[in-house]
Amino acid sequence: MKIILVQQQDIVKEALIDCFQRQQYHVVDLQQKMQIFDEIDSSQPVIMICNEGCLTEGEYAFYQKVSVVNQIPMIILTEKNNRLTDGLPEYIRKLRRPITFAKLVQLIEELQESAVQSSYVCEQKVIKTKNWELSMDTYELKIAEVKTSFSPKEMVIFFRLAKQPNTVVTRDELQEILATEVVNADYRMVDYHIRRIRKKLVPFIKFLEIKTVYGAGYQLLIRE
């Protein structure tokens, strides 16, 4: 298990590193924001621990986005309740300080167990079928030798639909995913990006189509 410490106060960070190493966890003290992508790209299970009080609004949104898009568990240490995790995935948890180290380890173990049982693969960045390939790394859909590109916002929505093809994904869930990319995202924003994705899928309608399920959400229809 790799523990990534994000924006921790020095005295807290030293205590956490010492305690985690005693538990034989691999601990990483994140020095630069973009370093997170190198650290999560590993075969080890990963959990991020953030200190909410040390994060700006932009940093908070960034790490939350990393957690949601890559389905990486995140624990948020806080002294206030102004940023709720209601509606976010189960693998994002908030702990109000002060807390004991034993309680923190217990939550880590719960999240680790939940990640093992999850139907999602945290490292999954590519979805392949016999006819097409969708990549989060390149933001591209490839069918035969034809490629089309998506914006980051379009890709997080499209990738979520593609993970469970022929299954309805609610607008609420897509809105929550998009909210990690855009402040004050609403249904209209979801619908806007769905329309853009549909336009890009027109050349591939033989294989892929996004269907609106009225009153429920959207589903990606796969035709092999």
For the chain, domains (ranges, CATH) are: 2-117 (3.40.50.2300), 126-222 (1.10.10.10)
* Residue 77 to residue 94: CA distance in whole angstroms: 6
* Residue 102 to residue 109: CA distance in whole angstroms: 11
State the burial class of residue 127 (Cβ atoms within 10 Å of its Cβ: 0-12, 13-18, 19+). Answer: middle
What pLDDT was estimated at residue 161?
93
What pLDDT was estimated at residue 6?
87
pLDDT in tens, 121-172: 334 688 888 889 999 888 899 998 899 999 888 898 999 999 888 899 998 8
Three-class SS of 188-219 = HHHHHHHHHHHHHHHHHCCCEEEEEECCCEEE
For residue 43, the SS3 value is: coil
The DSSP string of 152-197 is HHHHHHHHHHHHSTTS-EEHHHHHHHHHTTSTT--HHHHHHHHHHH
Residue 168: both structure tokens together: 């309805």
What pLDDT was estimated at residue 184?
47
Q: What order of strands is seen across the sheet that includes strand 169-170? A: 169-170, 217-222, 208-213
Stated pTM of the model: 0.50
For residue 150, the SS3 value is: coil
What pLDDT was estimated at residue 117?
43
pLDDT mean for each 10 residues of the chain (224 residues): 82 83 87 79 77 84 80 81 58 80 85 55 71 89 90 88 90 78 60 92 92 92 83
